[in-house]
Amino acid sequence: MKIGLNWLKDYIAFDYTVEELANSLTMVGLEVEDIQQGQSDFQDVVVGKVTRVEKHSSADTLSVCRVDIGKTILTVICGAPNVSENQLVPVAKLGAILSGGVRIESKSIRGVQSEGMICSERELGISDHHGGILVLDKKDYTVGELFSSQAAQNDSALNINVTPNRPDCLSHIGVAREVGVILGEAFSKPEVVVKESTESIDDCISIEILDSVGCPRYSARVVYDVTVGPSPAWLKHRLESVGVRSINNVVDVTNYVLMETGQPLHGFDNDLIQGQKIIVRKAKPGEIFTTLDGENRSLMSEDLLICDGERPVALAGVMGGLNSEVSDHTQRILLESAYFDPMTIRRTAKRLGMSTEASQRFERGTDPNNTINAVNRAAQLLSEIAGGKVMEGVVDVYPQPVQMWEVSLRPSRITKVLGTEIPRENVLEILHLLGLEIRGENPFLVTVPTFRPDLTREIDLIEEIVRHYGYEKIPAQLYSKMTLSYESNQEQNLTERMKDIFVGMGFLETMNNSMVSKEHISFITPNIPPVKVQNPLNPETVFLRTSLLGGLLDSVQWNKNHYENNLRLFEIGRIFRAKGKMLPDEVDSIAGVLTGSLRSKPFWGESERTIDFFHLKGALETFQEGLHIEGVEFKPERYDALKPETSMKIVCRNEQIGFMGEIRSEILEQWDIANQIFAFEIVLNDLNEKCPQMLKFRPIPRFPSIKRDLSVVVKKEIPIGSLKDLIQQVGGEHLVSVEIFDVYQGHQIPSGKKSVALSLTFLSLNRTLKEKEVDPVMSAVIKALETSYSASLRS
Amino acid sequence: MTASNVHTQVQVLEEEFTNALANVKNASELESLRIQYLGRKGCISKLFKNLEILPIEDRKPSGRDINHLKQKVQTALRESKTIITREEESKPFVDLTLPGNQWSIGRYHPVTTVLRQIKSAFERMGFLVVQGLEVETEYYNFEALNIPKGHPARDMHDTLFVGDEIVLRTHTSPVQVRIMESQPPPVRIISPGRCYRRDTPDATHSPVFHQVEGLCVDEGVTFADLKGVILTFAKNMLGSDVKIRFRPSFFPFTEPSAEYDFSCIICRGKGCKVCKGTGWVEISGAGMVNPEVYKYVDYDGEKVTGYAFGMGVERIAMLIYEVHDIRLFYENDVRFLYQF
């Protein structure tokens, strides 16, 4: 809502600068988003005095003018009939840019060079008036000064972000009331006096409300003998100062009253109203209505229509109709001033995407008891500036008048909510200046006027009081008496620990959009039912992610496109699985991708090493170790997204918790990625339970261990993991570790075979083991390997 | 042989040794010199052996002379050895200007870093961190927060729908309702998480963003307590000289409602581009829990009072790190991530 500073002064006097006023309003909850300083509208448009006017020698309609702009005198060609000597006029100099972006250039018109342009109101964006040049009042302007229109010159405006609970502040009077409370003074409303003629409105129009829920009140007046034409300067300037374009005196008056009182009005050309009546009814489904802007609107039965005896003439509360619009020839105006149900207007405006000055106010709730005052104000202005005569009487249909209500307010409750006491006199003054009446003492009985539909409870009044008392006067309480809490969020702590581990391993943490494209779903997790976004912003964000991998591939692609191919990325975030009409399953998941060279920066002392499957597996083993999780195994298992040869499931104590492997190239093609990508994903909810709650110390061995190396040759297809498992089975109680330190094929090894070197460590916790105790165990191990895997000992 | 003969011999030897030592060029020459003088068959050993043929009374002073020589030689050799070794050791050329063999270190996403700071600030004040759902019913996201269907306040949120009356939560506030439903007062929680709005991405809007919700409900909780908690939080994040400002505002689920600002962290309140010259930067909204909300969770709004607050994590990260475009947080450009 734009509030003109000068306009505001019509209702309350103040000496604030515009900045001070803006700050004061912001601090009572009327946030000033920006200040429009009253200043020159245009660069290079100056005030000039026409010193000589001569007919153009070769064009009758053109005049060659000499215009004094202070330091110089310009020759300007002018086509306007109203130009004459001694006028003060706005002159656009060469290079000036006018309303609509027109740039003034030096040009020769039929042999005479024009050094500028004398402007009309339209060229300056003041109004649509283009009948001639704008002639300025000599009182207000000086030759040579930068031209600015009267309104801009005198007036600054505040752009206030009015919160949805304050319909009353969508008007100058509403804001004036707030300024009054800030100043501790009452504001004054304009005096409305309507001189009525003897012609009665009742002979002219009748009103019938068929939907009194949608339209609880409809008031109207008729003004006749109106001369439609340009508005007087003061009115144009007023509207211009708050960003409303002047159209003609009738439309301007309705807009003026809207901005002044917050009550939207509509003026019909009464001669176009058929059957001398207005009927307010619901639209028929599919009914088509052409609004003022020329659009055909298809309506539904929830929409409210204003009709005459034969047809709809306005879409109630939103926009008038083309068929009854006020035109230059209009003589009789039917002024509508109604109260419409906020929900009804809101539904219609929202569905049709029509947010108008009127609909914005009706949908927040106008004052049902202000319709008469507003229509009278408009009638008064029309008779003053458009020569109108006001018919006697107001037609007012208001079957169930809305009464003011009473709210009780306990002074003790104010203190209880705020934590500080507000002096009684402040409370009373604030409520009084806000227009509320107070009776009683403890509690106060507060009568709320109908322009404040937001004040219905005690807490609403407390907010009003503290809002004006000043939030800054409430002390920040730094002492707190509170219930001690022993709880902490273990899951959250574990998640953070996981981040520590991956960051420690050199991974970068990423965050990707949770909304993904159709391709993300179909390529990575075709079997998980995804949650579909019904009103997505774009095709890239139509589903909720079922896996974090797609987002990570997006990140890989992004970085690849920016020439970074060596990446270790991870993310911890939520993934979703649809569950029919119920809320979807939401679980947190951790996923990572590895690609490119092992080092993010090359090292001169080493040749570059490319990340392979075992870096992936190693990262997960380190992760598992870092979390002290036991019993994690990796087992071959096919996944759609992974190459079959490296596709594995991650199992923890017989429960599947995730997957890992190299991503299939067909999938990478979708992301336009050519490099190998190794990836994993683990669902955290499954993992959290597997992490030990409490760690237990295991005594450090005090006795030396015995290490034995073993080198065997087996068929190359035999999984070394199985050899290791077998050794652990037969290795006896003292075998504490089996490490694989070499795997070799080639020279000296028969083809089709491989040599595996293992290191076995034996240890007893309570004595020194003897070599001869280990010997039989080693023999048993070798025997078992020979029997089960035809292994031969390599000498 | 007499003591004086020995004395002369010792003097000669000492002179010879001094000359020889001066000509030693490396460790092996030094070693031969050592053997020549101190070896088992070296000249000093020989001198000691010759003591046997001296008269008894000469043996003691001569022995002293020889011992004296031996000590001098030993000391001189030790000193030379240190010098020569040091010289020799420095000989192989190592280019110390080459970069080191780095260990790799990853990075936390800046949202994580800022979230950790926020969480730790509130945990120290006794708040418990809880998680909420990212997909919510309209009931929890709106109705139970006193935003009924058709309420103009719904316009403040451009909502993404995923089902009939199921939405992607537009704020973390549904957690307020869920936590109060699940337990009687007192409640003292914060809840961080992702939120979603149907906003076209630009420098200040992202359809996905993080918020932290805070809620404290107990007997005797006041607006002054809310200001105290926010002030303590501000100081924790930005230092003890930071100031806070509360401005009246409107949220359907709090009353009185406020927007809270911190004094600008860039210019320390003097006025700059970031704060648009006001000295204040807007952080987020807060207020006393609206009694309407208590009705939905069956709390006695006469008995307990409480406050709630929220904040945008990216917004705070943008202020702290002076990041000018929110979209950077979701592009995951490594040139961005490596900076934190």
Give the DSSP letter string of B199-214. Answer: ---BTTB-SEEEEEEE
- Token readout for A41 is 């509208």
* For residues A192-205, average pLDDT: 93
Q: Encode pLDDT of A114-133 as tens digits.
A: 889 998 887 876 766 777 88
Please tell me the distance from the alpha carbon of residue B172 to that of residue B179, in angstroms, as a whole number: 12
Q: What is the mean pLDDT of residues A726-732?
A: 94
Shortest distance between the Cα of A28 and any Cα of chain B, in A, equals 6
Contact: A482, B135; criterion CB under 8 Å: no
Interface size, chain A vs chain B, as Cβ–Cβ contacts under 8 Å: 243
* Range from A19-23, A123-127, A614-618, A635-639 carrying the lowest mean pLDDT: A123-127
- Asked if the Cβ–Cβ distance from A533 to B186 is below 8 Å, we say no
Q: How far is A559 from chain B (nearest CA, A)?
A: 6
> Which residues is A159 bridged to in the sheet?
A2, A34
Measuring CA to CA, which residue among A681, A523, A677, A547 is closest to residue A613?
A677
Element (H, E) at A660: strand A655-662
Q: Could you tell me which chain B residue has the CA closest to the CA of A581? A: B163
> B109, B99, B174: which is closest to B135 by C-alpha?
B174
| Range in A149-158, A345-354, A676-685 with the lowest mean pLDDT | A149-158
Interface of A with B in 515-554 (CB under 8 A): 515, 531-537, 541, 544, 554
Q: What is the mean pLDDT of residues A541-564?
A: 96
Shortest alpha-carbon distance between residue A419 and chain B (Å) = 5
Give, to the nearest 10 degrees, the angle between helix A411-418 and helix A458-469. 70
Contact B265, B242 (CB under 8 A): yes
Q: How far is A533 from chain B (nearest CA, A)?
A: 4
| C-alpha distance from B86 to closest chain A C-alpha (Å) | 27
Residue A151 pLDDT > 60? no
Model confidence band, residue A259 (pLDDT cutoffs 50, 70, 90)? very high
Distance (Å) from the alpha carbon of B122 to chain A's nearest alpha carbon: 12
Q: What pLDDT was estimated at residue A240?
A: 86
pLDDT confidence tier of residue A233, bands split at 50, 70 and 90: confident
Q: A390 - beta bridge partners?
A: A196, A223
Q: How far is CA A396 from CA A193, A260, A400, in A?
A: 18, 21, 12
Q: Taking 90 as the threshold, does the pLDDT of residue A103 lie above it? A: no
The pLDDT value given to residue A512: 97
Return d(Cα A733, Cα A738) in angstroms, integer: 13
ipTM over 0.85: no
- Residues 337-376 of chain A with CB under 8 A from chain B are 342-343, 346-347, 363-364
How high is the pLDDT of residue A128?
A: 67
Q: pLDDT value at position A61?
A: 85
CA atoms A544, A547, A553, A559: torsion sign: positive
Give the distance from residue B111's alpha carbon to the nearest chain A alpha carbon, in angstroms: 9
Judged against a pLDDT cut of 90, whether residue A173 lies above it is answered with yes
Q: Name the closest residue on chain A to residue B132, using Cα atoms.
A: A586
Most confident of A535-549, B42-56, B78-92: A535-549
**For chain B, give me the number of helices (H) and strands (E)?**
12, 10
- Asked which of A497-511, A609-623, B88-102, B181-195 is least confident by mean pLDDT, the reply is B88-102
Q: Are A296 and A290 in contact (CB under 8 A)?
A: yes
DSSP A146: B
Residues B208-239 have pLDDT tens digits of: 999 999 999 999 999 999 999 999 999 999 99
For A433-447, B152-166, B183-197, B322-336, which range has the lowest pLDDT when averaged over its residues?
B152-166
- Looking at every residue in chain B, the average pLDDT score rounds to 91
pLDDT above 90 for B85: no
Q: How many other CB atoms are there within 10 angstroms of residue A492's CB atom? A: 17
- pLDDT at A452 > cutoff 90: yes
Of A29, A554, A576, which is closest to B249 when you measure between CB atoms? A29
Residues A550 and A516 sit within 8 Å (Cβ to Cβ): yes
CA distance A418 to A702: 66
Measured CA to CA, the distance from residue A94 to residue A89 in angstroms comes to: 16
Q: What is the structure's pLDDT at A460? A: 97
CA distance A30 to A8: 15
User: What is the C-alpha separation between A437 and A446, in angstroms, rounded?
Assistant: 6
Do the chains contact at B249 and A496, CB–CB below 8 Å?
Answer: no
CA dist B315 and B209 (Å) reads 9
Arithmetic mean of pLDDT, A668-686: 94
Return the SS3 of A596. Answer: coil
Range in A170-179, B96-105, B241-250 the model is least confident about: B96-105
CB spacing of A476 vs B224 below 8 angstroms:
yes
Q: What is the pLDDT of residue A593?
A: 98
Q: Is A421 on the interface with B (CB under 8 A)?
A: no
CB A135 within 8 A of CB A89: yes
- CB-based contacts of B227: which residues, under 8 Å, 6+ apart? A474, A475, A476, A477, B244, B246
In this model, does residue A437 exceed pLDDT 80? Answer: yes
Cα A78 to chain centroid, rounded: 49
H helical segments located in A155-278? 172-183, 233-241, 249-261
A150 pLDDT higher than 60: no
Q: Is the pLDDT of residue A155 over 80?
A: no
Residue B307, pLDDT above cutoff 60: yes
Least confident of A48-57, A450-459, B222-231: A48-57
CA of residue A793 relative to chain centroid, distance: 72
Report the residue from B112, B224, B232 with minimal CB separation from A418: B224
Average pLDDT over residues A257-282: 96
Confidence of residue A781 (pLDDT cuts 50, 70, 90): very high
Q: C-alpha dihedral over B196, B200, B203, B205, to 10 degrees?
A: -30
Tokens 């049709």 locate to A352
Q: Is A576 on the interface with B (CB under 8 A)?
A: yes
Q: Does A187 touch chain B (CB under 8 A)?
A: no
Instruction: Report the interhelical angle of B3-23 vs B43-50 (nearest 10°).
Output: 180
Task: Pick A364's closest partner by Cβ from B152, B288, B337.
Answer: B152
| pLDDT tens, position by position, B131-161 | 999 999 999 999 999 999 877 777 767 899 9
Q: Per the CB < 8 Å rule, is A474 touching B99? A: no
Name the residue among A476, A485, A512 with its Cβ closest to that of B126. Answer: A485
| CB–CB contact A474 B200 (8 Å) | no
Q: What's the pTM value of the predicted model, to 2 decimals?
A: 0.81
State the Cα–Cα distance between residues A673 and A565, nearest whole angstrom. 10
B95 at interface of A, judged by CB pairs closer than 8 A: no
Q: Which amino acid is at A694?
A: M
Asked if pLDDT for residue A154 goes beyond 70, the answer is: no
Within 10 A of A261 (CB to CB), how many other CB atoms are there?
28
Which residue of A459, A479, A533 is in closest CB contact with B162?
A533
- Residue among B112, B244, B332 whose CB faces A499 most closely: B112
Chain A CB contacts of B198 below 8 Å: 535, 537
Tens digit of pLDDT for each residue in A638-673? 998 999 999 999 999 989 999 999 999 999 999 999
A:732-791 residues touching chain B, CB 8 A cutoff:
none
Ranges of beta strands (E only) in B177-296 are 187-196, 208-218, 244-251, 254-263, 280-289
Q: Please name the member of B135, B256, B290 whose beta carbon is closest to the beta carbon of A576.
A: B135
Residues 6+ apart with CB under 8 A from A678: A593, A594, A595, A611, A612, A613, A615, A616, A646, A660, A661, A662, A663
Average model confidence (pLDDT) across chain A: 92
Find out whether A169 and A94 touch, Cβ atoms under 8 Å: no
Dihedral of the CA atoms A288, A291, A296, A297 (nearest 10)?
A: -60
